[in-house]
């Protein structure tokens, strides 16, 4: 009986211990489940953050790559545009140079034609046409040598025409055709006023003016010749003719002054006695 009770107590004790173990095991299981659940949640959160971080990193990498590609692309585009612009400018410059060269070539061909035609006028001694055509020729792009040659040719033509007009004027004066003489002398002076015969032409023109009763036109010419003529040989003639013109227009005092100046300046002139007689006559009459 006593043994049976002991066994019963032992069984009860084992049952209680087993129940305690079951409870502990259940608690440990629950705790382990809770830990597993917590670990799972943390793992899921970690994986989610990892996914987002990876996505952000990938996005950042893509943005960086796109930025680098864009910078490289823009740099290449700028380089190509600069090269294209330079090529266009070079082509435009070459086209401009080509047009300028073509224009200069055309102008030169035209100038050569004009120079050849002008040279034919010079060879044919068509003096007036040479003079008239020279102004137009100077506007052409001829060489300096051509311009110098044609300038000399025009100068010779002017001299020859001036001499011819001067000689015609002398011929008219000898026959008393004073109007034609005046026209010829005016043309001689106009053709080339720096020629050596022009002072004589001016003197003869003044004489023709006097014959045509145009003393007032003759006086300025004679005044200049008497004071500063390039040809010293005609100064006494000009001064004496000036005095005669002043007498004609009744400028008595000016005529007397001119005659006194003549006597003082030209003591060796062949007209000295004429001047003295004319002065004496003026002093008596006026």
- Show me where the domains of the chain are located: 215-286
Indicate the pLDDT class of residue 153, thresholds 50, 70 and 90.
Answer: confident
Sign of CA dihedral 265, 269, 273, 278: negative
Mean pLDDT of the chain: 83
| The Cα angle at residue 272 between residues 266 and 275, in degrees rounded to 5 | 110
The mean pLDDT of 181-190, rounded to a whole number, is 93
The mean pLDDT of 190-206, rounded to a whole number, is 90
Q: Which CATH number fits domain 215-286: 1.20.120, 2.40.160, 1.10.10, 1.10.220?
A: 1.10.220
Task: Name which of 209, 183, 187, 210 is nearest 197 in CA terms.
Answer: 187
Residues 6+ apart with CB under 8 A from 271: 236, 237, 240, 262
Indicate the pLDDT class of residue 234, thresholds 50, 70 and 90.
Answer: confident
Q: Is the pTM of this model over 0.75?
A: no
The mean pLDDT of 9-30, rounded to a whole number, is 75
The mean pLDDT of 50-57, rounded to a whole number, is 77
Indicate the pLDDT class of residue 5, thresholds 50, 70 and 90.
Answer: low
C-alpha–C-alpha distance, residues 181 and 176, integer Å: 8
Task: Name which of 133, 141, 69 is nearest 104 in CA terms.
Answer: 141
Indicate the pLDDT class of residue 165, thresholds 50, 70 and 90.
Answer: very high
**E strand segments, the chain:** none
Please state the separation of Cα 196 from the chain's center in Å: 41
Q: How many CB atoms lie within 10 A of CB 272?
A: 15
The DSSP string of 128-167 is: HHHHHHHHHHHTS---HHHHHHHHHHHHHHHHHHHHHHHH
Q: How many CB atoms lie within 10 A of CB 277?
A: 11
CA atoms within 13 A on the CB side of 74: 5
């Amino acid at each position: 009986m006593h043994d049976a009770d002991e066994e019963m107590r032992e069984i009860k004790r084992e049952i209680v211990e087993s129940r305690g173990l079951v409870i502990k095991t259940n608690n440990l299981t629950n705790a382990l489940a809770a830990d597993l659940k917590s670990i799972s949640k943390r793992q899921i959160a970690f994986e989610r953050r990892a996914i987002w971080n990876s996505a952000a990193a990938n996005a950042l990498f893509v943005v960086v790559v796109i930025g680098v590609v864009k910078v490289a692309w823009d740099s290449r585009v700028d380089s190509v545009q600069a090269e294209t612009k330079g090529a266009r400018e070079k082509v435009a410059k070459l086209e401009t140079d080509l047009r300028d060269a073509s224009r200069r070539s055309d102008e030169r061909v035209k100038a050569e034609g004009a120079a050849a035609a002008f040279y034919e006028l010079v060879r044919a001694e068509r003096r007036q046409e040479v003079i008239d055509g020279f102004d137009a020729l100077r506007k052409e792009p001829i060489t300096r040598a051509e311009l110098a040659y044609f300038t000399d040719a025009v100068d010779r033509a002017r001299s020859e025409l001036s001499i011819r007009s001067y000689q015609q004027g002398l011929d008219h004066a000898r026959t008393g055709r004073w109007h034609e003489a005046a026209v010829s002398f005016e043309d001689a002076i106009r053709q080339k006023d720096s020629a050596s015969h022009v002072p004589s032409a001016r003197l003869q023109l003044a004489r023709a003016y006097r014959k045509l009763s145009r003393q007032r036109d003759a006086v300025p010419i004679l005044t200049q010749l008497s004071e500063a003529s390039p040809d010293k040989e005609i100064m006494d003639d000009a001064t004496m003719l000036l005095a005669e013109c002043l007498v004609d227009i009744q400028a008595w005092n000016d005529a007397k002054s001119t005659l006194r100046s003549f006597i003082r300046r030209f003591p060796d002139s062949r007209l000295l006695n004429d001047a003295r007689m004319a002065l004496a006559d003026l002093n008596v009459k006026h």
